[in-house]
Amino acid sequence: MHALLEVRGLTKSLGDGAARQPIISDLSFEARPGEFLSVVGPSGCGKTTLLMCLAGLYDIDGGSVAFQGHQVQSPPPGVSVVFQDYSRSLLPWKNNLDNVLFGMKRTELPEAQRRPRALELLQAVGLTGYETHFPWQVSGGMQQRVAIARGLAAQSRLLLLDEPLAAVDAQTRADLQDLLLDLAKRFNQTCLLVTHDVDEAVYVADRVIVLSRRPTRVVTEFVVDCPKPRDQITTREHPDYLRLRHEVISMIRSMRAVH
């Protein structure tokens, strides 16, 4: 199966002049269609910088990022990003339905099909009845559901998730993990999740990519063999889940990242 996303020898530094610091160094991996990847690593290793490079929001210094065989030099059609700070990513003057419709601006979907599609997506994320509510009128978990629906509304083939569940409570986080898995399967969505939570990374992923400390590179990848569909109780008690969780945590701790 051909890769949907190919990253080869990626390098990236941030800052100006003498303050410029290497963040990413010779980093390579790929994502295949329909795959759910998690990216983890020591705190401050550059996970979000990597995601910005993949999304075409940062220029890269060396190497290449290719999406569907084309070099990424600006935000490409077919790639959507869901950020951690949903309060800033949603437009507060638009209601939930209009926020999802806003995600369709770059699509070729006919105008007559956009509203039905937006309503379908809000139903898919469990927000039927909240279409006319504004983001500030619903909970943080609901706002992030709207942000996910908007990401799907762009008809993207690749959904980049930058710690999207970090700002919600534990129960909401578990519910949204299951929602992401359900949506990825339902819409045949390729997902790449950047997260600091190893438990979450192993729970949702087909593969877990482990990064080094700065300047970051891929240390190793783990295939997650836990059965699907995943379950918050049985999956987290599965021997393969517990083994992988232990291996990933031990590897990250051994790196002793600097802040």
Question: How many domains does the structure of the chain reveal?
Answer: 1
Question: Residue 10: beta bridge partners?
Answer: 27
Apex 199 CA angle, 8 and 48, nearest 5 = 40
pLDDT of residue 221: 96
> How many Å separate Cα 101 from the centre of its chain?
21
Rounded-to-integer distance, Cα 16 and Cα 10, Å:
19
Domain that holds residue 182: 5-255
- One-letter amino acid at 10 equals L
pLDDT of residue 107: 81
pLDDT of residue 256: 66
Q: Print pLDDT tens along the chain (259 aa).
A: 689 999 999 999 998 887 889 999 999 999 999 999 999 999 889 999 999 999 999 999 999 999 999 999 999 888 999 988 777 789 999 999 999 999 888 788 888 999 999 999 999 999 999 999 999 999 988 998 999 999 888 888 999 999 888 878 888 899 999 999 998 998 889 999 999 999 999 999 999 999 999 999 999 999 999 999 999 999 999 999 999 999 999 999 998 644 4
Residue 166: other Cβ atoms inside 10 A: 14
pLDDT of residue 166: 84
Please state the pTM of the whole predicted model: 0.91
Among 167, 12, 14, smallest CA distance to 85 is for 167
CATH number of the domain that 14 lies in?
3.40.50.300
Q: 124-139 in b/e burial notation, b at 16+ Cβ within 10 A?
A: bbebeebbeebbeeee
> How many Å separate Cα 143 from the centre of its chain?
16
Whether 193 and 36 have beta carbons less than 8 Å apart is answered as yes
